Amino acid sequence: MKNYDVAIIGAGAGGLNASFEAINLGKKVVLIDKFKPGGECTWSGCIPSKALIQIAKEVKTAQSFAPISIDSKQIMKKVRALIETAHQGESVDVLNEAGIDYVNGYATFKDANTLHVEGLEIKADKIIIATGSSAAVPPIKGLNHVNYLTNSSIFLQEELPKEIIILGGGAIGVELSQAMQRLGVQVQLVEMEETILYREEQEMACMLQTTLEQEGINFYTSHKAVEVKEDDTGITVVIEQDGNKKTITANAILLASGRKPNVEGLNLEEIGVTYHSRGIEVNEFYETSIPNIYAVGDVVGPYLFSHTGGLQGKQAIQNAFADKKEGINFQHVAWCTFTDPELARTGMTEKQAREQYDNRIQVYTLDYSDLDRAIVDEKTKGKAKVICDEKGLILGASILGERACEMLCELQILKSHNIPFYSLQKAIHPYPGYSELLLMMSHEAYNNQ
Ligand X SMILES: Cc1cc2nc3c(=O)[nH]c(=O)nc-3n(C[C@H](O)[C@H](O)[C@H](O)COP(=O)(O)OP(=O)(O)OC[C@H]3O[C@@H](n4cnc5c(N)ncnc54)[C@H](O)[C@@H]3O)c2cc1C
Distance from C-alpha of 101 to C-alpha of 227, rounded to nearest angstrom: 47
How many positions of this chain bind ligand X (CB under 6 A)? 36
Which residue from 449, 441, 340, 337 is spatially nearest to 387, judged by alpha carbons?
A: 441
Evaluate whether 335 touches 195 at the Cβ level (below 8 Å): no
116 sits near ligand X (criterion: CB under 6 A): no
Of 49, 113, 181, 315, the one binding ligand X by CB under 6 A: 49
Which residue from 393, 343, 387, 339 is spatially nearest to 365, judged by alpha carbons?
A: 387
User: Cβ of residue 89: shortest distance to ligand X, in angstroms?
Assistant: 15
CA dihedral for 199, 201, 202, 205, sign (positive or negative) = negative
46 sits near ligand X (criterion: CB under 6 A): yes
95 sits near ligand X (criterion: CB under 6 A): no
Evaluate whether 245 touches 254 at the Cβ level (below 8 Å): no
131 sits near ligand X (criterion: CB under 6 A): yes
130 sits near ligand X (criterion: CB under 6 A): yes
Binding segment (CB under 6 A) for ligand X, from list 11-19, 141-149, 350-358, 424-432: 11-19
Give strand ranges (E) for 20-156. 29-33, 101-104, 107-111, 114-117, 120-129, 133-135
Distance of CA 368 to the CA centre of its chain: 25
Binding segment (CB under 6 A) for ligand X, from list 31-39, 78-86, 359-367, 408-416: 31-39
Shorter beta-carbon distance to ligand X: residue 105 or 433: 105
Length of the chain: 449
Evaluate whether 25 touches 5 at the Cβ level (below 8 Å): no
Of 12, 161, 169, 279, the one binding ligand X by CB under 6 A: 12
Distance from C-alpha of 18 to C-alpha of 430, rounded to nearest angstrom: 38
Binding segment (CB under 6 A) for ligand X, from list 35-43, 201-209, 352-360, 407-415: 35-43
Q: Interface residues for ligand X in 335-364 (CB under 6 A)?
A: 338
What is the end-to-end Cα distance of the chain in Å, rounded? 65
Q: Interface residues for ligand X in 279-298 (CB under 6 A)?
A: 297-298
HEC secondary structure over 349-373: CHHHHHHHCCCCCEEEEEEHHHCHH
Which residue from 175, 167, 178, 170 is spatially nearest to 224, judged by alpha carbons?
A: 167
User: Cβ of residue 340: shortest distance to ligand X, in angstroms?
Assistant: 14
Q: Interface residues for ligand X in 376-415 (CB under 6 A)?
A: none
Evaluate whether 235 touches 228 at the Cβ level (below 8 Å): yes
309 sits near ligand X (criterion: CB under 6 A): yes
User: CA 408, 414, 416, 418: dihedral to nearest 10 degrees?
Assistant: -150
34 sits near ligand X (criterion: CB under 6 A): yes
Shorter beta-carbon distance to ligand X: residue 296 or 424: 296
Shorter beta-carbon distance to ligand X: residue 45 or 347: 45
User: Cβ of residue 151: shortest distance to ligand X, in angstroms?
Assistant: 4
29 sits near ligand X (criterion: CB under 6 A): no
Binding segment (CB under 6 A) for ligand X, from list 43-51, 88-96, 183-191, 384-392: 43-51
User: Cβ of residue 17: shortest distance to ligand X, in angstroms?
Assistant: 8
Q: Interface residues for ligand X in 161-190 (CB under 6 A)?
A: 172
Instruction: Print the binding letters for residues 136-165 with ligand X: x by CB under 6 A, - otherwise.
Output: ---------------x--------------
Binding segment (CB under 6 A) for ligand X, from list 130-138, 200-208, 283-291, 393-401: 130-138
Evaluate whether 10 touches 17 at the Cβ level (below 8 Å): no
User: Cβ of residue 395: shortest distance to ligand X, in angstroms?
Assistant: 22
Shorter beta-carbon distance to ligand X: residue 335 or 421: 335
| Omega before 432 within 30 of 0, i.e. cis | yes
106 sits near ligand X (criterion: CB under 6 A): yes
Shorter beta-carbon distance to ligand X: residue 166 or 441: 166
Distance from C-alpha of 379 to C-alpha of 162, rounded to nearest angstrom: 29
Of 22, 31, 41, 217, the one binding ligand X by CB under 6 A: 41
152: phi then psi, degrees, rounded to nearest 5: -75, -30
Distance from C-alpha of 132 to C-alpha of 205, rounded to nearest angstrom: 27
Binning the chain into helix, strand and coil, the percentages to the nearest 5 are 35, 30, 35
424: phi then psi, degrees, rounded to nearest 5: -60, -30
35 sits near ligand X (criterion: CB under 6 A): yes
Distance from C-alpha of 381 to C-alpha of 368, rounded to nearest angstrom: 6
Of 60, 116, 307, 354, the one binding ligand X by CB under 6 A: 307
Binding segment (CB under 6 A) for ligand X, from list 126-134, 227-235, 317-325, 353-361: 126-134
33 sits near ligand X (criterion: CB under 6 A): yes
266's CB contacts (< 8 A; 6+ apart) are: 9, 107, 108, 109, 129, 131, 273
Of 113, 178, 257, 262, the one binding ligand X by CB under 6 A: 262
Q: Which residues bind ligand X (CB under 6 A)?
A: 9-15, 32-35, 39-41, 45-46, 49, 106-107, 130-132, 151, 172, 262, 265-266, 297-299, 304-307, 309, 338
